[in-house]
């Protein structure tokens, strides 16, 4: 496992959207984008040369942030739709799914966007699946006070998931969904709501904590979920139940990602924590920011990408994207 380095990285200041052009080492954090019109809410890709970032709609008539990186430059896509996009997930070669406001799920494939049929109008906060014929979407009302739902898709349309525990609809929202297989899927939400799919039925779980859980992810060894209220929490489940492994003094944590050799959690004020054999430790990124990092992704080469902005209040603006690894460009086509 890569040991975390407490870096005195070069701080990139005094610039708008674009790259920090300083040369950086393999282990240095870089500001790739800053002050994007919309907050950058989710980052995902298939490789370091195929990266998607989606986010807020700043209301300037350009629609939500939809950015793609192809190893040499960035491109901003006009999806043809309006409303914030909260999550992106897909498959190598396509399709790529983007979920957000008003029950909107966009499917990008073959160079075009299609708005899929969905059974509700609350916000889609998370999307995951094993294949385009086995997809999940979760969400609820903006603010998370109610409206929790889970939808399924086996192709072109989405339907309400059969057997969903409807009693939790009045208790909060579901923020994210992730699985290790088609038969091992967890969903997390407001006030510690947990829902599990075991391949045959959905059931409600319990962490024993009342704090909201904003994101869940997994490696082959364990699931991890992050969240918090006054302070940040990290829970892990290696199959024997959920354990609190929260680092002392962490701010609220919003995004988490586990690979087979590493783990990262991100949150308020640009906080970044990495997982080592000694547990979760804070990393010094060298970047000063007031924004919240909302999503983190580890590419197959070990590069780390973290997206955020003003995400805890509307409007969803001031998008920022950080990267750890070989220096990449922030230039647009």
Average pLDDT along the chain: 92
pLDDT score at 60: 87
The 10s digit of each residue's pLDDT in 260-286 is 999 999 999 999 999 988 899 999 999
Dist. CA 238–CA 231, nearest whole Å: 23
Q: What pTM value is reported for the model?
A: 0.91
Q: What is the pLDDT of residues 60-92, one digit of tens each?
A: 899 999 999 999 999 999 999 999 999 999 999
Confidence of residue 56 (pLDDT cuts 50, 70, 90): very high
101 has pLDDT over 90: yes
> What pLDDT was estimated at residue 14?
30
Which are the contacts of 103, defined by CB distance < 8 A and separation ≥ 6?
Answer: 118, 119, 120, 121, 122, 123, 124, 139
The Cα 234–Cα 222 span in angstroms is 12
Q: What is the DSSP letter of 3?
A: P
Here the tokens at position 84 are 């914030």
Mean pLDDT value of segment 207-229: 95
Give percent above pLDDT 70 in the chain: 92
The Cα–Cα gap between 316 and 125 comes to 14
CA gap 210, 203 in Å, rounded: 18
pLDDT digits (tens, 9 = 90+) for 114-172: 999 999 999 999 999 999 999 999 999 999 999 999 999 999 999 999 999 999 999 99
């Amino acid at each position: 496992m890569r040991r975390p380095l407490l870096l005195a990285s070069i701080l990139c200041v005094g610039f708008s959207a674009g790259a920090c052009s300083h040369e950086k080492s393999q282990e240095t954090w870089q500001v790739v984008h800053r002050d994007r019109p919309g907050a950058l809410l989710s980052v995902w890709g298939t490789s370091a040369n195929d990266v998607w970032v989606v986010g807020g709609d700043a209301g300037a008539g350009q629609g939500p942030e939809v950015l793609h990186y192809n190893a040499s430059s960035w491109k901003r896509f006009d999806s043809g739709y309006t409303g914030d996009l909260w999550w992106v997930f897909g498959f190598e070669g396509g399709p790529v799914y983007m979920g957000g406001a008003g029950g909107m799920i966009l499917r990008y494939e073959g160079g075009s966007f299609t708005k899929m049929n969905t059974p509700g109008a609350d916000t889609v906060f998370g999307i995951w699946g094993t294949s385009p014929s086995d997809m999940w979407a979760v969400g609820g009302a903006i603010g998370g006070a109610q409206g929790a739902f889970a939808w399924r898709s086996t192709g072109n349309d989405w339907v309400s998931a059969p057997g969903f525990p409807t009693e939790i609809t009045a208790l909060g929202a579901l923020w994210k969904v992730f699985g290790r297989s088609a038969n091992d899927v967890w969903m997390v939400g407001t006030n510690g709501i947990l829902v599990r799919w075991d391949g045959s039925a959905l059931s409600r779980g319990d962490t024993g904590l009342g704090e909201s859980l904003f994101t869940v992810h997994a490696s082959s060894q364990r699931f991890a979920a992050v969240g918090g209220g006054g302070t940040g929490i990290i829970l892990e489940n290696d199959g024997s139940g959920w354990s609190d492994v929260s680092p002392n003094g962490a701010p609220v944590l919003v995004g988490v990602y586990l690979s087979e050799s590493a783990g990262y959690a991100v949150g308020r004020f640009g906080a970044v924590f990495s997982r080592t054999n000694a547990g979760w430790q804070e990393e010094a990124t060298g970047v000063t920011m007031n924004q919240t990092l909302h999503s983190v992704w580890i590419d197959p080469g070990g590069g780390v990408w973290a997206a955020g902005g003003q995400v805890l209040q509307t409007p969803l603006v001031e998008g920022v994207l950080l990267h750890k690894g070989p220096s990449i460009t922030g230039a647009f086509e």
